[in-house]
Amino acid sequence: SHRVMCEEADYIICATPRLAEWYSEPNKNVVVCENTVDPRDWNVKTKKKRIVGVVLSTNHLKHMHIVRDAMRAASGFKDVEVQVLGLDPNWDFPYTHVGFTPSVASYRRVVSRWSVGLAPVVDNDLTSCKSDLKWLEFTISGAAMIASDVTAYQHIADDCVLRAESSLEIGRAHV
């Protein structure tokens, strides 16, 4: 089981102090190594299109509504493409679906084309352990980020992220 693996591990490396707190219960040898991105890994070019993107997985199924309304609003703007990377949400408005990428390099190529990246997160015990990795990826690629106002993004300066408390706020005020 996962717990047994954690108990038996020599060390556990976590991306956030909050996640380390959770893992320190079964194993006292926990190290925090925060996420970083290397600019040399990102081949950022001038953006030719205005693309609003989001990365979705099965982890987002319960809170898909947070981003759906925002993406619907973005799809209504002239010359804006809405793009979903990963899970296909089967929305009833125009969007481009890009399946799960086969490599980190191909993921970077997709995200590097975005003008705006959305990071919808429901605030709960699990997501309070998340890191700011999406912010790092979006900003290194030159995309503005609109994110839920949750723990992972609270340390980021206000002029570096647009925070939204709800999908309605994301859709109406920011996109």
Phi, psi (deg, nearest 5) at residue 159:
-85, 5
pLDDT at 174: 46
Query: With pLDDT > 70 as the criterion, what percentage of the chain qualifies?
Result: 94
Contact present, 86 and 99 (Cβ < 8 Å): yes
pLDDT at 90: 94
pLDDT at 169: 54
Enter the pTM of the model: 0.84
